[in-house]
Amino acid sequence: MITKTTQNTITQPVRAQRGLQIPSRFGCYEIIEHLGMGGMGDVYKGRHTEMERLVALKILPSALSSVEFRERFNSEALAISQLQHHNIVTIYDYGEIINRRYIAMQYIEGATLAEIIKKEKKLSYDRIINFSKQVCRGLKYAHEKNIIHRDVKAGNIMVNQKDSAILSDFGLAQIPGATRLTNTGMAMGTPEYMAPEQCEGKPIDGQCDIYGLGIVMYEMVTGSPPFTGDSPLAIAYKQVHESPPLISKIRDDIPPTFELIIAKCLKKKKAERYKNAIELLSDLDSVEIQTQHIQTNVSQFFHRDTPLVNKRITDRRNQDRRFQISPQSRNFYFIIIGVLVFLLAGLLFFQNLSSRNSASGVSSWMQPHKISIVNTSANSPSSESIQNAFDHSTQTAWTVQFSEYASRKLILKFNQITLISGVSFQLDPKTLASWPEGIHPVAKVTLINQGQKESSFFLMNQSLPQFFEIKTFMSKEVTFIISHIPTYKNSTNVEPSDISIKDIRFLGLPY
């Protein structure tokens, strides 16, 4: 139950702690220790003497007793009192003692997220995503009550001993029906976490909290916010005009999808940012199954001369045996494994296709505005109809005639700098009919991008879309080399030479 109290109890004599003079008692609260100091007052660990309950006691200093600070202090109490959620701090009591406003809140045994980041340096992605989702749930609840936090930052997120993340400090919250304390054109918040519209003093909504959470996620991954500076004005300028450094340049093990989520949270234009916490939470839920993405290992298909290593097994009589898979069984197992891998990949692809194409998805299919193709052996442009592979129509296809040239180089240009995190290929089953039965690769695709290490993957003789996650990179131009694999012959002992690609798509986000 939340109560408002007005008492005339005189604060008891003070005692020293870390050079500070703190009261030993405040009204019905025994002061145990000083926890910290914020923009809206000192915070103490206290105990309600009658209820024997530990509290975090926030007291407005007498030096901040102006009408504006008193109203803002009351607004914080009002905001928290309307929110009953396990990821938002709980208020027990608020009132005034000898002209000193106070709020008694839930005491959380733990540390702020900022302290955890500083201490641990590098958080695991499981914890990062867990914290992000918990804070997002708290924001979703607050926004449903039309309360905007306006100061989402690592220092305002408490983490208890069970790794529960709890959003606190609603001192700058925007509350419906409350007296407006911030004039239009006035910027309020912590510069390192403020959205561009906040920095410019424009009207704000829940999307500014989404931006702040994006900064927090960036900080959890890299160890620091994307924008720092010598003055608040310098930081605010960067928030409005500069793009954040690419996370994968700082920490290259970040899951590509998670990097795109953070990038979308930090879009300067609100129209390109997540519209609400529901959209963000939906994408965060998808990251858990994508942190370990599927990588098809097809090296077995290209090293048939390499003997399979004998494996030692032990039977129940503790007698060792030698076991070696026969060549016929080995090929059979490869076929079965290949079928299972591609069925699973196809299932995951279609499962996420609708969300990736939706406006609320973290990323979308990026369409290059200029496409050129070069025959590498002749080093000359090709007359093949490459546009058929980019028209998003499965009725047309680009036929690659490997009998004429060994490989093709695709040069794709986008209208603006783009974050690329994945690529999808879909082959035409008509040309696949000339290939021998079984699961095997038909082409090797090598991604070449300036300043990035080359990466390769293999297209298999499957008509389902084949999606490949790649290490996120940022560029206006993408280059692929598609090479033929002269390994297999069909039943007539003729080596297939052509493949047709119905669709090529890139998964990414304009930067």
**Residues designated as active site:** 151
Q: Pseudo-torsion of CA 219, 418, 270, 265, nearest 10°?
A: -20
Task: Give the DSSP letter of residue 163.
Answer: -
Q: Which residues pair with 25 in a beta bridge?
A: 30
- Find how far residue 97's CA is from the centre of its chain: 45
The number of residues making up the chain comes to 511
Residue in 347, 346, 401 with CA at minimum distance from that of residue 378: 401
Distance CA 387, CA 191 (A): 46
Between the alpha carbon of residue 89 and those of residues 153, 166, 180, 481, the distances in Å are 15, 6, 23, 54
Q: Is 507 helix (H, G, I), strand (E, B) or coil?
A: strand
Amino acid at 242: E
Joined tokens for residue 365 = 């299919």
Q: Is 158 helix (H, G, I), strand (E, B) or coil?
A: strand
- Find how far residue 432's CA is from the centre of its chain: 38
Residue given tokens 């975090």 in the structure block: 56
Joined tokens for residue 131 = 């914290």
- Cβ atoms of 83 and 141 within 8 Å: the answer is yes
Tell how strand 3-7 and strand 91-97 pair up.
parallel
**Strand ranges (DSSP E) for 275-429?**
311-314, 320-323, 364-366, 370-375, 380-381, 398-401, 407-427
Distance CA 80, CA 38 (A): 17
Q: Which residues pair with 88 in a beta bridge?
A: 167
Distance CA 74, CA 76 (A): 5
Q: Report the 10 Å Cβ neighbour count for 178.
A: 15
Tell how strand 100-106 and strand 91-97 pair up.
antiparallel
Distance CA 457, CA 441 (A): 10
Residue given tokens 């592979």 in the structure block: 389
- Find how far residue 336's CA is from the centre of its chain: 35
Between the alpha carbon of residue 3 and those of residues 114, 251, 286, 465, the distances in Å are 31, 48, 41, 60
Query: In what helix (H) or strand (E) does residue 15 lie, and over which residues does it extend?
Result: strand 14-17
